[in-house]
Amino acid sequence: MNETARQLITALEGGNRLQKNDFLQILTHADAEDVEYAKSHANDLRIKYFGNAIFLRGLVELSNFCKNDCLYCGIRRSNTAVVRYRLSKEQILGCLEQGYAAGLRTLVLQGGEDAWFTDERMCDIVSAVKERRPEIAVTLSLGERSKESYRRLKEAGADRYLLRHETATEWHYAKLHPAFQKLSNRMQCLEWLKELGYQVGCGMMVGSPYQTTECLAADLAFIQDFRPQMVGLGPFIPHHETPFANEPAGSVETTLFLLALVRLTLPKVLLPSTTALATLHPQGRLHGILSGANVIMPNLSPIDLRDNYTLYDNKANTGLEAVEGVALLDKELSSIGCHVVVDRGDARY
Ligand code: 5AD
């Protein structure tokens, strides 16, 4: 056990605000015992606020066209090997019904930054979903748009928005993205979304190329200050058609530690155990929950198109991470005393 790290983890757990340097001390000095301590206390907090309920979000990957060129991402615009597709409104409503029947009460509409999905088209889709199933929460994950666009989408019925900040460190952001993509714009978007009354999610990859421990400390400090309702956090996994093809994947253990620290920082946060984590470790999803995660996002996209939405290599898509696998997923969760619930799973703050 490391005294400094343990003291700071305990302070965090006690609701104290930490400095970026404190997070750095934790990440630098924690030994295996401290990591276990953080994970088990994060798991206790999850149980305290959510019991054994795991919330589900049905993920519809509505387009893999993207104008951006994130160096880590398999659907970046420079990847000419991708077969591009976009779903029609009817296909999206079909996904909605399939998810609804499986007990999902949140629909996440995620896609690359595809200009085809204008405000008019997107608003039409969101209001159609809300009209068809008013009790469903709609989460959007469509990247950077204008404030006016976010406002219109909110008015059309969107409840939540996921926009991972990817890294809170300017120089690191510039290593992961081409120059036309700016961290300042991403942060501005997150502020707008919050201002407009969305439940907002930010987040980052663990172990992305060039990431240092300082970067992760900055991410945790940002999350603490921004107080998002949701945090998306998974390991980086290389994709063979990107400039990062030969970079190593992020560590499962570090990802679990980060999940635990996020839960300790924001006790009521909605925290998915991500597909990326399940991709790197057969028990990744369960370990995520035992480290404080309380959300799983089954894939609801049409099966024949799922392979085209490959952000990283070996992305699992037809097993327990898919809507067809909800019953099996529930069984898997029962091995750690948890179960899926039919619930919108809204934020508690
Ligand atoms: N490995 C892990 N996560 C990735 N994402 C994109 N590419 C990868 C990758 N190679 C994540 C990004 C993005 C989210 C939708 O998927 O953080 O915000």
Q: What was the pLDDT predicted at 98?
A: 96
Q: How far is the CA of 161 from the centre of ligand 1 (A)?
A: 16
210-248 per-position pLDDT tens digit = 999 999 999 999 999 999 999 999 999 999 999 999 999
- Please say whether the beta carbons of 277 and 288 come within 8 A: yes
d(CA 254, CA 194): 29
Q: How many CB atoms lie within 10 A of CB 36?
A: 16
Q: Is the pLDDT of residue 137 over 90?
A: yes
Flag whether 26 is in a domain. Answer: no
Q: What was the pLDDT predicted at 317?
A: 81
Q: What residues contact 128, with CB distance under 8 A and at least 6 apart?
A: 89, 93
Q: Is the pLDDT of residue 58 over 90?
A: yes
Largest Cα–Cα distance in the chain? Answer: 57
Strand pairing category for 106-111 and 58-63 = parallel
Q: How far is the CA of 134 from the centre of ligand 1 (A)?
A: 30
Flag whether 237 is in a domain. Answer: yes
Flag whether 326 is in a domain. Answer: yes
The CATH number that applies at residue 143 is 3.20.20.70
Q: What was the pLDDT predicted at 38?
A: 98
Flag whether 203 is in a domain. Answer: yes
- Please say whether the beta carbons of 255 and 235 come within 8 A: yes
Ligand 1 pocket check: which of 57, 72, 301 to mutate, most ligand atoms within 8 Å of Cβ?
Answer: 72
d(CA 20, CA 185): 22
Backbone torsion region of residue 210, taken as left when φ is above 0, otherwise alpha when ψ lies between -120 and 50, otherwise beta? left
CB of 166 sitting under 6 A from ligand 1: yes
CB of 56 sitting under 6 A from ligand 1: no
Place of tokens 């999610």: 201
165-197 per-position pLDDT tens digit = 999 999 999 999 999 999 999 999 999 999 999
Q: What was the pLDDT predicted at 334?
A: 98
Give percent above pLDDT 70 in the chain: 100
Q: What was the pLDDT predicted at 48?
A: 98
CB of 205 sitting under 6 A from ligand 1: yes
Flag whether 46 is in a domain. Answer: no
Q: What was the pLDDT predicted at 165?
A: 98
* Token digits of residue 341: 């619930």
Q: What was the pLDDT predicted at 321?
A: 79
Q: Is the pLDDT of residue 344 over 80?
A: yes
CB of 123 sitting under 6 A from ligand 1: no
Q: How far is the CA of 115 from the centre of ligand 1 (A)?
A: 20
Ligand 1 closest atom vs CA 141 = 15
CB of 61 sitting under 6 A from ligand 1: no
Q: What was the pLDDT predicted at 282?
A: 93
Flag whether 21 is in a domain. Answer: no
Number of domains within the chain: 1
Q: Is the pLDDT of residue 57 over 80?
A: yes
Which residue has the least CA distance to atom 16 on ligand 1? 311
Flag whether 318 is in a domain. Answer: yes
| 318 closest CA partner among 273, 279, 266, 289 | 279
CB of 239 sitting under 6 A from ligand 1: yes
d(CA 131, CA 182): 36
- Summarize the confidence of residues 90-115 as an average pLDDT: 97
CB of 311 sitting under 6 A from ligand 1: yes
Convert the chain into a string of H (helix), E (strand) and C (coil).
CCHHHHHHHHHHHCCCCCCHHHHHHHHHHCCHHHHHHHHHHHHHHHHHHHCCEEEECEEEEEECCCCCCCCCCCCCCCCCCCCCCECCHHHHHHHHHHHHHCCCCEEEEEECCCCCCCHHHHHHHHHHHHHHCCCCEEEEECCCCCHHHHHHHHHCCCCEEECCCECCCHHHHHHHCCCCCCHHHHHHHHHHHHHCCCEEEEEEEECCCCCCHHHHHHHHHHHHHHCCCEEEEEECCCCCCCCCCCCCCCCHHHHHHHHHHHHHHCCCCECECCHHHHHHCCCHHHHHHHCCCCEECCECCCHHHHCCCCCCCCCCCCCCCEHHHHHHHHHHHHCCCCEEECCCCCCCC
* Token digits of residue 238: 């290389």
286-327 per-position pLDDT tens digit = 999 999 999 999 999 999 999 999 999 999 887 887 988 999
CB of 312 sitting under 6 A from ligand 1: yes
Q: How far is CA 6 from the centre of its chain?
A: 27
Q: In the predicted model, what is the mean pLDDT of the chain? A: 97
117-126 per-position pLDDT tens digit = 999 999 999 9
Q: What was the pLDDT predicted at 114?
A: 98
Q: How far is the CA of 234 from the centre of ligand 1 (A)?
A: 8
d(CA 50, CA 61): 28
- Summarize the confidence of residues 14-42 as an average pLDDT: 98
Flag whether 37 is in a domain. Answer: no
d(CA 74, CA 68): 11
CB crowding 333-342: b at 16 or more within 10 Å, else e: beeeebebbe
d(CA 139, CA 159): 6
CB of 237 sitting under 6 A from ligand 1: yes
Q: What was the pLDDT predicted at 82?
A: 97
Q: Which domain range does residue 129 map to?
A: 52-341
Which residue has the least CA distance to atom 18 on ligand 1? 164
